[in-house]
Amino acid sequence: MADFNTTVNRARVSGVPAGGFPWRLLIISIVVFGLTVLIYFGIAYGYTPYLNSQVSKVKADLDTLSKKIDDSQQKILTDFYSQIYNIQTLQSGHIYPSKFFDFIESNTYPSIKLTGASVGVQGEEVKIEGVATDFSVLTNYLAIIKNQPTVGLVSLEGARQRDVKDGGGIPFSITIAFNQKFFSAK
């Protein structure tokens, strides 16, 4: 019991109240509340009217501009915009099979002789036929094609060794499935 009384007495002597109301917390709360009210009234009576006046100014400018352009010019401008939009829409869906030739040209392997190609633009698949000098050349060619970022899947459909009397080499047929939208404009 003596220990408790000495701590209470020491607190009173040092000037710190032993218990009671937290005045500092109350003062901070009043300051925060006052700032909140001040910000609210600043937005409600200062910033909102400013924004409304800016909106009114823009509306007035639009009205002035619309009075400068008569109805016939507005119709011509609207028709022109409509035509441009339609052209853009048609062009975005247009298919460019010539991209395949760029692909073949940039991925040509010197020991491969291409003999045929068929392009299925809708399925975005290409079937290539050709003759390679040996299997290692064919394997390297397939690896080059498969590592292109525009290629999704490469499948070797047939390859066999020809006799020397038939011209030698390895005739092959591969199918390349390109990534989606390879043949499109964008």
Domain boundaries, the chain: 1-68, 98-178
Q: What percentage of the chain has pLDDT greater than the value 70?
A: 82
pLDDT 10s digits, 97-117 = 677 788 888 887 788 888 888
Q: Are 172 and 129 in contact (CB under 8 A)?
A: yes
Q: Supply the mean pLDDT for the chain.
A: 82
| pLDDT at 166 (0 to 100) | 67
β-bridge partners, 94: none
CATH number of 98-178: 3.30.1360.100
- CA pair distance 111, 119, nearest whole angstrom: 23
Give the mean pLDDT of 38-50: 93
| pLDDT at 33 (0 to 100) | 96
Strand pairing class (151-159; 112-120): unpaired
